[in-house]
């Protein structure tokens, strides 16, 4: 199945625009995100797409979602059909694939994604979202270990979990098969 290519220049423009909209210097964004100034500069110039974990750190520091960084806002009609070929897919060298399933809409910080973790992959620890954020996760295949603020939850195929998004969260596949799961995330509160 064909997938939409990531536009590095457009991603860089969106990161830069959001940084400026929030009146942050590169140094201030680096402090908030834990991502180096040189990496942020490289991303803003469209020279590199960072790992999914680093992209999450940047998005969280900008009070937004990865989806808003990799895709442009759509107009807000009553119905939007997302064709499979138009979905943004990020294949991380760590063995994590992130597939956007929801459009990016103006003023709405909601995202539905399908994640695939290769066998034995630890995706790392993702930073907390702003207070009032919510995440719903449903496991499709094998078993996922979700780590929330250091507490592990083992979720088998068919299991689901809700958690507040303002905590550190990590994802690990300890099995010998790919693990597929879905996350619906809504950022709460107001962007700073």
CATH code for the domain of 52: 1.10.260.40
Query: What's residue 107's pLDDT?
Result: 85
Domain membership of residue 162 (yes or no) is: yes
Name the 3-class secondary structure at 91. strand
pLDDT, mean of residues 76-98:
89
CATH classification at residue 178: 2.60.120.10
Please say which residue of 47, 70, 93 terminates a domain: 70
Q: Give yes or no: residues 125 and 34 share one domain.
A: no
Query: What's residue 191's pLDDT?
Result: 54
Query: What's residue 86's pLDDT?
Result: 84
What is the span of the domain harbouring residue 29?
A: 8-70
Say what percent of the chain tops pLDDT 90: 77
pLDDT, mean of residues 54-80:
88
Of 24 and 86, more confident? 24
Q: Give yes or no: residues 62 and 12 share one domain.
A: yes
- Angle CA 153–139–60, to nearest 5: 70
Query: What's residue 34's pLDDT?
Result: 96
- Tell me: pLDDT of 151 over 90: yes
Domain membership of residue 12 (yes or no) is: yes
Q: Give yes or no: residues 161 and 136 share one domain.
A: yes
- Number of domains observed in the structure of the chain: 2
pTM here? 0.83
Nearest CA to 104 among 90, 87, 129?
Answer: 87
Please say which residue of 45, 70, 95 terminates a domain: 70
Q: Give yes or no: residues 88 and 65 share one domain.
A: no
Q: How confident is the model at residue 3 (pLDDT cuts 50, 70, 90)?
A: low
Q: Give yes or no: residues 165 and 103 share one domain.
A: yes
pLDDT, mean of residues 33-37:
96
Nearest CA to 101 among 78, 67, 133, 69?
Answer: 67
- Tell me: pLDDT of 28 over 80: yes
- Tell me: pLDDT of 190 over 70: no
Q: Give yes or no: residues 88 and 44 share one domain.
A: no
Query: What's residue 6's pLDDT?
Result: 80
Nearest CA to 94 among 60, 56, 61?
Answer: 56
Q: Give yes or no: residues 29 and 51 share one domain.
A: yes
Q: How confident is the model at residue 73 (pLDDT cuts 50, 70, 90)?
A: confident
Domain membership of residue 32 (yes or no) is: yes
Q: Give yes or no: residues 58 and 104 share one domain.
A: no
Domain membership of residue 77 (yes or no) is: no
Mean pLDDT of the chain: 92
Please say which residue of 25, 44, 70 terminates a domain: 70
How many angstroms from the chain centroid is the CA of residue 64?
Answer: 9
pLDDT, mean of residues 22-51:
94
Q: Give 3-20 as a DSSP string.
A: -BPP-HHHHHHHHHHHHH
In angstroms, the CA 111 to CA 186 distance is: 7
């Amino acid at each position: 199945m064909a997938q939409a290519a990531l536009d590095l220049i457009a991603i860089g423009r969106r990161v830069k625009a959001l940084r400026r909209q929030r009146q942050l210097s590169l140094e201030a964004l680096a402090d908030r995100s834990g991502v180096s100034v040189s990496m942020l500069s490289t991303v803003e110039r469209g020279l590199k797409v960072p790992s999914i974990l680093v992209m999450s750190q940047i998005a969280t520091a900008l009070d937004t979602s990865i989806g808003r960084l990799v895709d442009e806002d759509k107009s807000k009609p009553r119905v939007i059909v997302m064709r499979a070929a138009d979905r943004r897919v990020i294949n991380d060298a760590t063995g994590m694939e992130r597939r956007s399933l929801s459009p990016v809409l103006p003023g709405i910080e909601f995202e539905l994604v399908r994640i695939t973790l290769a066998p034995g992959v630890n995706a790392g620890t993702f930073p907390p979202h702003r207070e009032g954020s919510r995440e719903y996760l449903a496991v499709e295949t094998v078993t996922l270990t979700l780590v929330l603020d250091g507490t592990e939850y083992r979720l088998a195929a068919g299991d689901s979990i809700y958690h507040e998004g303002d905590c550190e969260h990590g994802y690990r596949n300890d099995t010998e098969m790919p693990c597929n799961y879905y996350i619906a995330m809504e950022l709460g509160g107001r962007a700073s």
